[in-house]
Amino acid sequence: MKNYEDIKKLRKSMEKVLDPKRYEHSLGVEFTAACMAMKYGCDIENARIAGILHDCAKCIPDSEKILLCEKNGIEISAVEKKKPALLHAKAGAFLAKTQYGIKNEDIINAIMNHTTGRPDMSLLEKIIFLSDYIEPNRKTIPGLFKAREACFNDINAAMAVVLKNVLEYLESGKGQIDDKTRETFDFYKVYLPKED
């Protein structure tokens, strides 16, 4: 699966399984991921495929996400048990492989790690993680301009900036923090740009 026709088919599939807002978001992530892939010398088609598929399990009801993970031996963390919507990344990686025919492990990992990140991510994983945060349809949130700028200057600094923003947002009481997100920030925080 590496040509434009395949990507068009994936888009049509996503249009059927995602609500309109989520579909627009996925197109935005595909576009942004392609731009970042060009900037950093990553495979553009892989970036587009991971971008369009990254939320393929997002609109599945939480109970079905839990069932899918339990039936297929996919580990569910304590945070995911409390907030099953977070399982869409793991469930999406599984569906990418089994339902959408993706064999490339880097694409699978990019989908699996796009919400929490992980220490020492591949270039494609970083691109999808960041594209999900900065894509053009995202409503303006504190630090978004700085994150967008960092994404096209220094990808590791961008990881640090985005992870810091995410943790600050979650720590303000807006959501549960997965340990993996904190571990990822601990890995990338050495790249945080110096404050002016």
pLDDT at residue 31 is higher than 90: yes
pLDDT digits (tens, 9 = 90+) for 111-147: 999 999 999 999 999 999 999 999 999 887 878 999 9
pLDDT at residue 1 is higher than 70: no
The whole-angstrom separation of Cα 97 and Cα 107 is 9
The dihedral sign for the CA sequence 63, 64, 70, 76? negative
Contact 83, 175 (CB under 8 A): yes
Contact 147, 133 (CB under 8 A): yes
Query: In whole angstroms, what separates CA 72 from the centre of its chain?
Result: 21
User: Helix H segments across 102-143?
Assistant: 105-112, 123-134
pLDDT digits (tens, 9 = 90+) for 159-189: 999 999 999 988 887 777 888 999 999 999 9
The pTM (predicted TM-score) of the whole model is 0.95
Domains of the chain: 4-143 (1.10.3210.10)
The whole-angstrom separation of Cα 99 and Cα 118 is 25
Contact 159, 129 (CB under 8 A): yes
Closest CA to 18 of 52, 69, 68, 67: 52
